Structure 1
Amino acid sequence: MIETLTRIPVAHYLNLKERAGYSIKIDDKEIALFRITTGEVYALENRSPHPKGGVLSEGLVSGAYVYCPVYDWKISLADGKVQAPDEGRVQTFQVEIKEDIVFIVL
């Protein structure tokens, strides 16, 4: 069976401020969007992987990383990996930009 991917429009690129997080919801998934200073946009699960969670869209963005606002865990925006010495991973989502529209691919 071939799985069909769906492109869901979620934001206008120019409305995303650099180094700021935005929370969006698609069905039951809460997703954090980030535009970094190089212009790239990343999307990942909007919850830190530690037991108490943490809303990542409220975290500090530095380079291609976001810092959990609860425990200050450093998480890669590119692959969702928590950086050592901490451990864990958050789900990432494919992002496409076409004609100033940011799409999440599910």
Structure 2
Amino acid sequence: MNWIAIGSLSDIPRRGARCVATPQGKIAVFRTADDQVFAIDDHCPHKGGPLSQGIVHGAAVTCPLHNWVISLETGKALGADEGSVRTIPVKVEGEQLFIALEALASKAA
């Protein structure tokens, strides 16, 4: 896999997110309270709300627009809501964060 560096773990507050602009759109990179890192498309499947501005709880994020809860692990809406967002492989090496470039290109095609 071709990994691209996107910053360091300390760039993202615990239970927070940051956005990474890619040719295939904005990616939201989340850090959980226990320092797990996930990357998903930065738009809610419901009305396109900015998930990166949502509240992180456990391994999920709540959309700031209509309170849809999205799993950071699967990208699927939880509860009675239906829909999903693309998940992007992410890895942490020391403090450095990387996302998989191929995953972006292959899922956009």
Q: Same fold (TM over 0.5)?
A: yes
CA distance in 2, matches of 1:36, 1:69: 17
Letter paired with 1:98: E
Name the amino acid aligned to 1:78: E
Q: C-alpha displacement at 1:7, in angstroms?
A: 0.4
1:14 & 1:23 partners in 2: Cα distance? 14
Q: Secondary structure at the match of 2:89?
A: strand
> How far off is 1:56 after superposition?
0.3
Alignment partner, residue 77 of structure 1: 72
Aligned partner of 2:104 in structure 1 is: none
Q: Where do 1:45-64 residues align within 5 Å?
A: 45-50=41-46, 52-64=47-59
Structure 2 portions without partners, runs of 5+: 102-109
Q: Distance in 2 between matches of 1:84 and 1:47?
A: 18
Kindly name which structure, 1 or 2, has the bigger radius of gyration based on alpha carbons.
1
Out of 30, 33, 36, which is 2:29 matched to? Answer: 33
Q: Which structure has the highest helix share of the two?
A: 2
TM-superposed deviation, 1:54? 0.1
> What TM-score do the two structures reach when normalised by structure 2?
0.88
CA distance in 1 between counterparts of 2:34 and 2:68 reads 22
Partner of 1:6: 2
Determine which of 7, 18, 22 is the counterpart of 2:18. 22
**By how many angstroms is 1:29 displaced?**
2.1
Structure 2 counterpart of 1:42, from 28, 38, 57: 38
TM-score, scaled relative to structure 1: 0.90
